[in-house]
Every structure is written in C-alpha cells, then in structure tokens.
C-alpha cells in the first residue's frame, strides 16, 4: 500500500504541474500531462507502464484491500481530468454534447488502455493513436490541438 500511495503521490505532483496549471488553456493542460507521462514511459523503452494500472490488472482480483485503495486512487485521479473537460467544454475547445463525467472517465480509461498496449508492443504508437482519436472525436474544431508526441 505504501508503494502504491507513493507512486500516486508522484502522479499527483505531475497533475498539479500540468492538468491543474492556471497558466494554460484546458487542452494545453491535458497535452502537457500526456507529454510528461509519455516521456516517463519512454525512459524504460516502453516496458513498464503504470504501476497503478498494472496492479489493477493483476492484484485487484486477489486483494480486497488493494482493490479498494485502487478504486479510491482512480476516483482521485479522475478529478483533474473532469476539471479539464469541464473547462474545455466551457471554453469551446471540446464538444459539449457529451457528459463531462463520461468524457473524463473515457480519457482516463482509454489512456490506460493505450499504456497497456504500449507495454505489449514496446512502442509509443498506441499512445499516439489514442491522441489522434481523441482529437478527431472530442475536439470542437476537429483539427489538431494536442500535438503528437515526438
């Protein structure tokens, strides 16, 4: 539990610097967060993914204590995504005909799915694909607003 909490605390620091930054437009905040996470994943050659996602897949079926903690972590993790979605819908950057709660859930879950595929493929292509798809399906302009990772 301590390792899990420390890992999430480091992600909360990343979210505070990116997703919660008052100096960026909403989709720039999302972009910055995805960039930082992509950079962290690249250091390992796309091998390790996310400890929280890994434990969710492997351990939550065996430990109720860890499953419950992971559930709380995902609830806390969702809040900055929801704030970005609400702000982006208000500013006209993001489609407003979808529930902000569902869009935030989709972004967090979809990103984790892309990270899982990244690990399997040992490539950043699943992360790039995720970003391309959210761009054309969710962004109001339908044009590139989040830059593709390098």
Q: What's the pLDDT tens digit per position in 45-100?
A: 999 999 999 999 999 889 999 999 999 999 999 999 999 999 999 999 999 999 99
Distance of CA 68 to the CA centre of its chain: 20
Alpha carbon distance 45, 33 (integer Å): 19
Residues 6+ apart with CB under 8 A from 88: 26, 27, 30, 94
The pLDDT, as a whole number, for residue 134 is 94
Single pTM value for the model: 0.89
The rounded Cα 65 to chain-centroid distance in angstroms is 24
State the pLDDT at residue 139: 86
Confidence band of 141 (pLDDT split at 50, 70, 90): low
- CA dihedral in degrees (14, 16, 18, 19; nearest 10)? 120
Q: Is 120 a residue whose pLDDT tops 90? A: yes
50: CB partners within 8 A, 6+ apart:
112, 115
């Amino acid at each position: 539990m301590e390792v899990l909490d420390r890992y999430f605390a480091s992600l909360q620091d990343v979210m505070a610097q990116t997703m919660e930054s008052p100096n960026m437009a909403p989709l720039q905040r999302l972009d910055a967060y995805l960039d930082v996470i992509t950079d962290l994943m690249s250091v390992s050659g796309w091998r390790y993914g996310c400890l929280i996602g890994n434990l969710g897949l492997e351990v939550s079926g065996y430990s109720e204590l860890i499953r419950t903690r992971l559930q709380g972590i995902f609830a806390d993790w969702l809040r900055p995504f929801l704030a970005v979605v609400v702000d982006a819908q208000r500013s006209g950057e993001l489609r407003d005909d979808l529930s902000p709660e569902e869009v935030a859930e989709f972004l967090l879950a979809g990103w984790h799915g892309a990270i899982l595929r990244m690990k399997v493929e040992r490539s950043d292509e699943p992360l790039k694909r995720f970003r391309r798809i959210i761009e054309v399906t969710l962004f109001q302009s339908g044009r590139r607003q989040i830059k593709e990772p390098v």
